[in-house]
Amino acid sequence: MGVGERAPGSEAEIVFELPVERGKVREFALAVAEDNPIHYYVEEARKRGLPDIVAPPTFTVTQMWQVPREERERRLGANLAYERVLHGEQEFFYQRLPVAGEVLTGRMRIASDISKQGRRGGVMRVVTYESVFTDASGAEVLRALYTLMELPPP
Amino acid sequence: MSVPFDLRLEDVFSGMELSEVVFGPVERADIVRYAGAAGDFNPIHIDDAYAQGAGAPTAFAMGMLPAGYLAHAVSDWFGGPQHLRRFRVRFLTRVWPGDEIVCWGRVDEIEGRLVKVRFEADRRGPGPRELELPEREPALSGDADVEPA
C-alpha cells in the first residue's frame, strides 16, 4: 500500500468508554509527580468547588488501555510503519477536567494525514489522531490531538 | 518552591518569566510506573535489549512523561490544572534515565481573561555515554492558554 492509503474497509471513528476511576486518577497523578491534593483527596477537591478528585491534564492518554495501538491501527487503518514512527506533538483543549466517578465517551478518528518532503530527503508522513471526550450529558469535556511522524525509510 | 506560583490574572504581565520547576532525575522505576499508569507498554521505553535493537543505547522515557511534568508546572504557575484551557507540547529529543527535567516559561500575551504562555522542558544530565550529549538541551517545547482566577 502506498503512502497515505487506507486499508480497505477501515472505520471512520472508534467509539470507546473512558471510566475516570479514583484509583486510576491517583495512580496517574503519582506517575507524573503531581503533588496537588485535588488529584488525591476528595475533601481537598470539594474545598475548591470540585465534585470529586479531578484527573491531571494529560490523563486521557490512558485511553491506550481502552484502545491499544494494534486495535487503533486495525480499525482506523493509518497503516504506519511503527519502527519509523515518533510521537511528534500532543495537544489538549479543555472545557473542564475529567472528574472521578464519571464515564467519558471517546470518539477517535484520523483528523489529518499529510505527506511532506523530509529535511534529510524522502517523504515524511504526519498523522494526527483526534479524540473528543464527552460526558453523560453529551457535553464536550476535552479534545486531544495525538500527532505521529513516520520518518522516511532508511 | 520559589515564587511566583498560583498567579492570578492581576499578577500577570506579558514578558513575565515563570519560575523554574525541576523534576526527577527520571529513574527506570518512574518510566515503568508511567507505562503502567498510562497503558503505554512500548518495549523501547522498558527493555534495553529491545531499544538497542532499534539503535538506541538504552531504553528511554516516553515523551508523555516529561509532558506530564510540564503540564504540572504550568498548572502550578497559574493556581491549578482547572485553569488550563489549552496545552500543547512538541517533542524535540529523547529523555534518558538519570535526566532531570527543568521546566521554565514566559507569559507571551494576555487577551481578555486568557493568558498565553510559552514554555520549554530541558533534559539535564549526562545521558548515555556513547551519544556524547550536551549536559543540558531542550527536550520539549510548548504553549498553553490559561484562564487564571
Q: Is A62 on the interface with B (CB under 8 A)?
A: yes
Which residues of chain A neighbour B39 with C-beta distances below 8 Å? 62-65, 68
The CATH code of the domain at B9-26+60-146 is 3.10.129.10
ipTM over 0.90: yes
Which residues of chain A neighbour B30 with C-beta distances below 8 Å? 31, 33
Chain A interface, mutation test: which of B34, B72, B114, most A Cβ atoms within 10 Å?
A: B72
Domain boundaries, chain B: 9-26+60-146
The pLDDT tens digits of the residues spanning A7-17 come to 555 789 999 99
Domain boundaries, chain A: 14-20+55-150
CA contacts within 13 A on the Cβ side of B13 = 1
Per-residue pLDDT tens digits of chain B, which is 149 residues long: 444 588 999 999 999 999 999 999 999 999 999 999 999 999 999 999 999 998 999 999 999 999 999 999 999 999 999 999 999 999 999 999 999 999 999 999 999 999 999 999 999 999 999 999 999 999 999 999 999 99
Strands (E) located in chain A? 14-19, 85-94, 103-117, 123-134, 140-150
A14-20+55-150 has CATH 1.10.3720.10 classification: no
CB contact under 8 Å between B81 and A62, yes or no, is: no
CB contact under 8 Å between B67 and A89, yes or no, is: no
Within 10 angstroms of residue A148's Cβ, the number of other Cβ atoms is 18
